[in-house]
Chain A
């Protein structure tokens, strides 16, 4: 709505505009002769809306193709081809942005701060999760460019001790909680800032970033998909949903003959062996375990909540305002030399008090949010502990639905699969 016109407003507007008008007339544009053609500035790179729809369509298509190749067609070669195509398009062509792995932060910001989000961001966040709920982690198998890049170099995968592996799998949960916390407080996009592989997809980056990426790939030769298994925060969501999936990749196309040929084929240690008969245990052991769990759940929740609260001031420093506020204090107290930020700040209309207030507010928000984020980490770990202590009767070799990436490496190890392939070849 236009504000009503008043003389006072008009005068104020004229006063505000006066310096600008003067600045423009400092050296008025000359009347050049008619032969002079003013050069035209180019404004390249405007992206038409259909490109967004193309991206969303390609993602949906790639997910559907991955699900078909993994679940129906059971073709590792097909998945490999699809993953190369996705690496080329979503990775090298699009430079790794926008990716679902980072989109959870933008969605968090939209959720908590009401920031206007572009439709592709939300679609990129939601589609792989829905695909995981329907067909398992087919997104990880062939669509995610970061995952595919690691998948291609995993040629000498070594096994990790189960306890070490389980301990390392705590890291993604912590990173997810931190990523959500930092995005919800509009402090930083943690996953984007410290993504080690994205400089490789962009073929440019800082020396540190490229070195980290190269180191991660080198590690990936011996430890299959280290980023996906031990760092990826989005993978935590995919893992949770994949456990509830409607359909999931099976190792055998038929019934398991328990030949255990597939057991060592998985570089991600995601194949669960048949469990031995449940050992008879005295009631006391069960009660003691239950007691420990009852104690462990609140302890974990409280412990992580406290830990995150203590981390809040350090996390706040990821935001420029907090760093600047500390810098101004240093300059005032210790006489530290001025930085570009502090000089620019002094030239602006903001007062140091406003800045210190904003920094303090951010620290408080992170402390308060840290309680929830820490509690979430504690709760997830507690659930995993409970899951580990529950005895599950398993008769066959089955993929662990949470950890299985649906890559299809195990298919050809199954004798029943070999039989199926032979039958298909001979009509």
Chain B
């Protein structure tokens, strides 16, 4: 290559590079804009369980990336029957209907039973203890009013891009909901908290 050719060659290379760079920038912006065509949401999403689909298989307690799952049992008191014999609280063969450990269904004793008035009892969940195994939910749904249900707690959830529980859920009960309103509580059809 002679000395006279060199500047022209350099200029050509620069021009080509600038063209390529412009095309690449346009491509990046184009990809971003096209990806948004499915519906741009100014708010991000959170994972949540649809209680209408959930079968309480127990995966929520084991699949979550957290050591103790971000899924907890929550109680819709408006649906609760305040039963003395609560199917979510007692083992099926419970010797006595009291708070003895051998009578309780919950493996961690996370449900608190409190006397309200004869013959009604109130059941509240201690979320510190709840592991999200869903055993109480399963029984309450099968034999009771279904007031107990599982929900992802968003003060604990890390909001993984690919939720490990959603991946392991056998019935695809997990879906993404707007972050500003991230719960699908039972008994409210519009999903508002």
Contact = CB atoms under 8 A, between A and B. Distances in A.
B193 A43 contact: yes
Contacts of A36: 116-117
B97 interface: no
Given A116-B38, A344-B57, A41 B75 contact: yes
A129 interface: yes
Nearest to A201: B158
Given A119-B41, A320-B170, A47 B160 contact: no
B80 to A, nearest CB: 7
A143 interface: no
Q: Is the interface of B mostly helix, strand, loop or mixed?
A: loop
Contact of B42 (A46, A52, A113, A206): A52
Interface stretch (A1-9, A64-72, A94-102, A298-306): A94-102
B40 A117 contact: yes
Q: How large is the interface on A (under 10, 10 to 19, 20 to 34, 35 or more residues)?
A: 35 or more
A165 B176 CA distance: 41
B154 A28 contact: no
Interface string A317-348: 00010001000000000000000110111011
B171 A49 contact: no
B15 interface: no
Contacts of B185: 41, 43
A32 interface: yes
Contacts of A52: 42-44, 179
Interface residues of B, number: 68
A52 B159 CA distance: 13
Contacts of A347: 55
A162 interface: no
B59 interface: yes
Interface stretch (A212-220, A237-245, A250-258, A366-374): A237-245
B146 to A, nearest CB: 6
A387 interface: no
Given A97-B159, A244-B24, A340-B58, A23 B65 contact: no
A29 interface: yes
A120 interface: yes
A340 B165 CA distance: 14
Interface in B32-90: 32, 34-46, 55, 57-59, 65-67, 74-83
Given A41-B185, A52-B179, A117 B82 contact: no
Interface in B138-193: 144-146, 153-162, 167-168, 170-171, 179-183, 185, 193
B44 A28 contact: no
Interface of B: 17, 20-21, 24-25, 28-29, 31-32, 34-46, 55, 57-59, 65-67, 74-83, 116-117, 120, 122, 124, 144-146, 153-162, 167-168, 170-171, 179-183, 185, 193
Given A126-B31, A202-B66, A244-B24, 18 more contacts: A23-B146, A30-B81, A41-B76, A44-B155, A47-B154, A97-B161, A114-B37, A118-B179, A119-B41, A119-B42, A119-B44, A188-B167, A193-B162, A245-B21, A320-B170, A340-B170, A343-B170, A345-B171
13 contacts: A28-B81, A41-B74, A44-B155, A45-B182, A47-B154, A111-B31, A117-B39, A118-B44, A123-B32, A129-B28, A130-B28, A206-B65, A320-B168
